[in-house]
Amino acid sequence: MKIKLRHYAAPLLFLITIAVIFSACRKTPVKKDPGEIGGTPPPSGHWKRVTALPEGRIRVIEVANGMLYAASEQGVVYISTDGLNWTASTPIDRAGAITALTVFNNKLYAGTELYGIFVSDNGGQTWSSSSSALRSASSFAILNDTLYSGSSEADGVAALDEAHNQWLPFKNGLPTNYNLDVQKLIQAGNTLFSVQGVNGNYYVYDKSAGNWTEKYFFNSTYKPGLRVTDIIYDSGLLFAAYNNAVLISDGAGSTWSLDTVGLKKGPNPFERRALYAGADSYYTLNYSEGKGTWLQKKHRPLPGSSWAANEEFLPDVHGYVVREFKGMVFMATDSGVYWEPLH
């Protein structure tokens, strides 16, 4: 009897294996039970990897229209309604790394590092390329029912002509021989702000004049070598960040002051510092070369509070952005997306 059992066990195991593989290949949603969101945490802290998402580099997570989005280096957008269960989009053909995401007029827009901007009107099931000379997109901004994109290459700012699905130059007044890379484009109040280049200046769109005006962070002049990598607007306050500092303005950018109490500073002057305004806290992310990422946050109200009051260090993880979503904090990193409960 034992001999017969061995005789039939191998083909039976082969058939079971084939059935399991075939079943797995047919699943398009990337879903996990609520208890499975965990995975292996970094060596310290309460962070856990979202095991439903790839473990490779993810530079973008975004909240839009009550949904949470993450995007991979392989041109796939992952969508979640609860932070626990995820559905993968159809891969965008030849898109490469996705560097910006937004939802505009019920369409999903994905900006890439090298191959332009793609749009989907069915939640990522199909994609089309927006006609444009833009090679890259670092960020999107919406103002007066128009979608704008900033390019991290030398393409400046563009506005979407939605009727023709194409992007048109929107850079009247922007420089043409320096500060050509848009690090971040945002809507602030009733206008647009763009941080560009490595000269310590930024640009504000003057709607009445129909062009961009050059402004400065320090001493009303250029500061060569100062590369601001992020800017956010929240409740009348502007925050701008570079590797060693955070700047704050409560006067629509007319004056700026340092906001560095307790702030961690990285050794690499070319590393990006990221900012985020959550429901009750402001966040900053900074990567220390070869060591890990500092996440620091401070509760409102401002000013004068310390960034060190609530800080965490994620060793051996390169963090790019952070977002709050339904009682959780999510961080996009070079080894997937991590999460922890909001506290």
Average pLDDT of span 243-250 = 90
Average pLDDT score, the chain: 84
Total-model pTM: 0.85
Question: Could you state, in order of their start, the residue ranges of all structural domains in the chain?
Answer: 41-341
Q: What is the pLDDT of residue 210?
A: 92
Q: 3-state SS of 7-66?
A: HHHHHHHHHHHHHHHHHHHCCCEECCCHHHCCCCCCCCCCCEECCCCCCCCCCEEEEECC
pLDDT in tens, 184-223: 999 998 999 999 989 999 999 998 899 999 999 987 788 8
Q: What is the pLDDT of residue 44?
A: 52
Handedness of CA 266, 229, 298, 301 (dihedral sign): positive
Handedness of CA 112, 117, 121, 127 (dihedral sign): negative
Q: What is the pLDDT of residue 240?
A: 96
Between 322 and 221, residue with greater pLDDT: 322
Distance CA(111)–CA(139), nearest Å, equals 8
Identify the residue whose tokens are 């699943």: 27
pLDDT band at 270 (very low <50, low <70, confident <90, very high): low
Average pLDDT of span 254-262 = 90
| CATH class, 41-341 region | mainly beta
pLDDT band at 76 (very low <50, low <70, confident <90, very high): very high
Average pLDDT of span 47-58 = 93
Provide the b/e sequence for 62-95 (b: ≥16 CB within 10 Å): beeeeebbbbbbebbbbbbeebbbbbbbbebeeb
238 contacts 232 by C-beta, under 8 angstroms? yes
Q: What is the pLDDT of residue 58?
A: 96
pLDDT band at 326 (very low <50, low <70, confident <90, very high): very high
Q: What is the pLDDT of residue 284?
A: 95
